[in-house]
Every structure is written in C-alpha cells, then in structure tokens.
Amino acid sequence: MQRLTGRRCVITGAGSGIGRASALRFAAEGAQVLVVGRRKENTDETVALVRAAAGSAVAHVTDASVEANVERVVASCVAELGGLDVFFANIAVTGTNTPLLEQSLDEWAEVMRANLFSCFLAVKHAGRHMTAQGSGSIILTSSAASLRANAGAISYSASKAAVNSLAQTAANAFAGTGVRVNAILPGLVETQMTKKVFEQARERGVEGRIGHMTPLKRAGRPEEIAAMAAFLASDDSSFVTGQLYAVDGGVSSTHPHGRIAL
C-alpha cells in the first residue's frame, strides 16, 4: 500500500518501539518522515533503518515535551520536508509505582509533561499549521491503561485518560478546518518501555502467561500499532476524527477473569 505518498509526517518518540515501527511503516507507504527522538544514536538508527528499506527520513533530536522544541519541530518539518500533513505525538514516560499516598506532585508533573503536555503541544503547533493549510491528521498515543486501573502507574493512567479527552475535544475545536485528531490506545507491546516485564517473565519461564487475559492471548507487536497509525494518517480514515482506538488484543473489551468454559 502506498497511502502516504507525498505526506510529510512527524513522529515523536521514533527512536524506538512503536514510534520506530511507525516511521518504517509510514515510509514504506510513501511518506517522508521527520524522526523525532531524544537520543541521537537511537534517532539516527531509525533513520538508517528507514533509508535501508528505501524510505525517506530525516532525524531531529529534541525533547518533545518542551514548547519551543515542538514549535521548532513543526518549523523544521515545513522547512526540510516542504510542509506538514501528519503529526504523530507518541512520547511518554511510565511514572513509578510508589504507593499512592506517598507520591509527590513533582512526579505527577513530570509524567503529565511528558505524556499529556507533549500531546497538547503537538495539537497546538501542528494544529496551527494544519488549520491554516486546511488539512492534516494529528494522532496521539494513549494507552489501554487510560480506561481501567492496574495496567500502569496511577499518574500514567491519569495522563493517558487526559490524552483521550484531548483527542475528543481538539477534534471538536478543529471542526470545519479539515484537521482530524484521533488517539490510539495500545495494549501491552514489547518495547523499551515494557522490556523489564518481558525479561522478568522470560527469566521466570512464564512468558507464555503474558497477555493471557486478552482475547487474543498474547502481547502486541509495535508493527500492529503502527498499522493503526498509518490508517489514521491516511485518507482511509478521512471520515474519522475524535476517536479512541484500542489496539490491545481485545483486553479493554473485558474484565480480568478466570477460565470460562467454551
């Protein structure tokens, strides 16, 4: 499929995991990708992987939770790629599992800055360019943890629930402008962020139990989230805005349970 031919796309958090897989998928579909990452070696590696697959990408190393940086990302995309059609705001931090009553406001502020404010900045600065242009797709990475407890730190879940609301409210704020905003809610996927969970399960020989409560009985792959992002970036989703898409093996459709007889 070549649904993104000619599209100029920013992907943040693209030095690893879901962002990297999305850079590869977007480029494979014909997009030019501005690969935004915090660490130079990871960001450069993603660009090299895209180019090795005959795709088009350039690196931009920055902290994507800082307003002046996000403004610069948008300006660089316009200057270097000739415009901006898609902004995939994908960075996040996990927060800690400190007991709730001992958590500090500083810890919450850090999580909100990385997870929520980065999405607001994407909506604001990409939205400013795209509303003037009369078209564009903004995609926010939320999480299945935004919907229910116990799938991540409390501050992480709360920040992602706010991202869901931002996708819905921004889509409506942009009514009539041609700019769409949607969120993806991944379930458990093996990436840098979740490495420990997978490593510990392997060490204990219980890897097979990962994802056992999801209808599809497994964890996801970064490429499976990238496929949804590519759909939302493309005109295949031209009538879709303000939506929250869980890509989670079905886990958000259910409650944790024991065996159910078939």
Residues with catalytic annotation? 156
7, 8, 9, 15: which one binds ligand NAD (CB under 6 A): 15
State yes or no: residue 37 binds ligand NAD (CB under 6 A).
Answer: yes
Closer by beta carbon to ligand NAD, 23 or else 130:
23
- CA-CA distance, 87 to 200, in Å (whole number)? 34
Give the shortest CB-56-to-ligand NAD separation in angstroms.
Answer: 20
3-state secondary structure 47-75: HHHHHHCCCEEEEEECCCCCHHHHHHHHH
Closer by beta carbon to ligand NAD, 134 or else 196:
196
Residue 35 β-bridge partners = 11, 59
Closer by beta carbon to ligand NAD, 39 or else 218:
39
Closer by beta carbon to ligand NAD, 60 or else 180:
60
Distances (CA, A) of 118 to 50, 153, 257, 262: 24, 18, 35, 44
Q: Which residues in the 152-191 window bind ligand NAD by CB under 6 A?
A: 186, 188-189, 191
Residue type for position 139: I
State yes or no: residue 64 binds ligand NAD (CB under 6 A).
Answer: yes
Sequence-separated contacts (24+) of 74-80 with Cβ below 8 Å: 74/10, 74/125, 74/126, 74/128, 74/129, 76/34, 77/8, 77/10, 77/34, 78/8, 78/129, 80/34
Give the shortest CB-13-to-ligand NAD separation in angstroms.
Answer: 3
Give the angle subtended at the CA of 109 by the CAs of 89 and 21, to the nearest 5°. Answer: 25
State yes or no: residue 24 binds ligand NAD (CB under 6 A).
Answer: no
State yes or no: residue 227 binds ligand NAD (CB under 6 A).
Answer: no
Tell me if residue 135 falls in helix, strand or coil: coil
Of 76-84, 85-93, 103-111, 199-207, the window that binds ligand NAD (rule: CB under 6 A) is 85-93
State yes or no: residue 249 binds ligand NAD (CB under 6 A).
Answer: no
Give the shortest CB-219-to-ligand NAD separation in angstroms.
Answer: 7
Please, what's the largest Cα pairwise distance for the chain? 59
- CA-CA distance, 154 to 4, in Å (whole number)? 36
List of residues contacting ligand NAD (CB under 6 A)? 12-13, 15-19, 37-39, 42, 63-65, 90-93, 114, 141, 143, 186, 188-189, 191-194
